[in-house]
Amino acid sequence: MVYGVSMLDWWFIEMTSVFLVGSILIGFIGKIKESVFVEAFVKGASDLLGVALIIGIARGITVLMNDGLISDTMLYYASNVTSGMNKGLFINAMLYIYGGLSFFIPSSSGMAVLTMPIMSPLADGVGIGREIVVNAYQYGMGLFAFINPTGLILASLAIVKVGYNKWLKFVIPLVLILTVFTMLMLTLQVYF
């Protein structure tokens, strides 16, 4: 699949085919009974349904933003703001933007579909590599995941019977240390 995507321009149809054929081959090789295989396959597919819906909605929003020229308008005005901006300031602002957006868009794949078409060209305008934009995206979402009440934190805390306020007292010092370290690393990446 990695070879197909990178060298043969595969996309969703081809990747889906690889997963389907691969799962059937695993069923044959593992000598799994048909009923057990189908049950496990359907259960696995149902676990991915929520993710598929989020990606589909995010893609729909992207299409509307592109066809309605909303993305271009946002990119134009954002590029006016970021034109000539310090690279270190830009990448750290992007870290906080992604952290804040993760409150509203807890899906990492949905966030990527919605924001990368705007953030990547902005980074190009400032002279920052797109791989560093991906780092800011990952770190912003990852740091905020520790305290984001719209993510899995509340459900996880409920399972182990720990209050959210207790969790915040415990994790805030770690989040602050990680945030400072992340800001330092991102700043070093844009200059070296």
Q: Which pLDDT band holds residue 65 (cuts at 50, 70, 90)?
A: confident
Residue type, 192: F
Dihedral (CA of 137, 143, 149, 153) sign: positive
Q: Which two tokens stand for residue 159?
A: 């399972």
Dihedral (CA of 49, 52, 56, 57) sign: positive
CB 191: neighbour CB atoms within 10 A?
9
Q: What is the rounded distance in angstroms from the CA atom of residue 184 to the CA atom of residue 173?
A: 17
Who wins on pLDDT, 21 or 65?
21
Of all residues in the chain, the percent with pLDDT exceeding 90 is 35
pLDDT of residue 57: 79
Q: What is the DSSP string of 58-82?
A: HHHHHHHHHHTTHHHHHHHHHHHHH
Q: Which pLDDT band holds residue 183 (cuts at 50, 70, 90)?
A: very high
List, for residues 86-117, the tens digit of each pLDDT value. Answer: 999 999 999 999 998 888 887 788 788 888 88
Average confidence score pLDDT of the chain: 87
Of all residues in the chain, the percent with pLDDT exceeding 70 is 99
Phi/psi of residue 77, nearest 5 degrees: -70, -35
Average pLDDT over residues 75-94: 86
* Cα dihedral 108/114/117/123 (nearest 10): -60
pLDDT of residue 180: 97
pLDDT of residue 175: 95
List, for residues 38-47, the tens digit of each pLDDT value. Answer: 998 888 888 7
List, for residues 117-154, the tens digit of each pLDDT value. Answer: 888 888 988 899 999 999 999 999 999 988 888 777 88
Q: What is the rounded distance in angstroms from the CA atom of residue 96 to the CA atom of residue 101?
A: 8
Q: Which pLDDT band holds residue 6 (cuts at 50, 70, 90)?
A: confident
Who wins on pLDDT, 51 or 7?
7
Q: What is the rounded distance in angstroms from the CA atom of residue 151 to the CA atom of residue 141?
A: 10
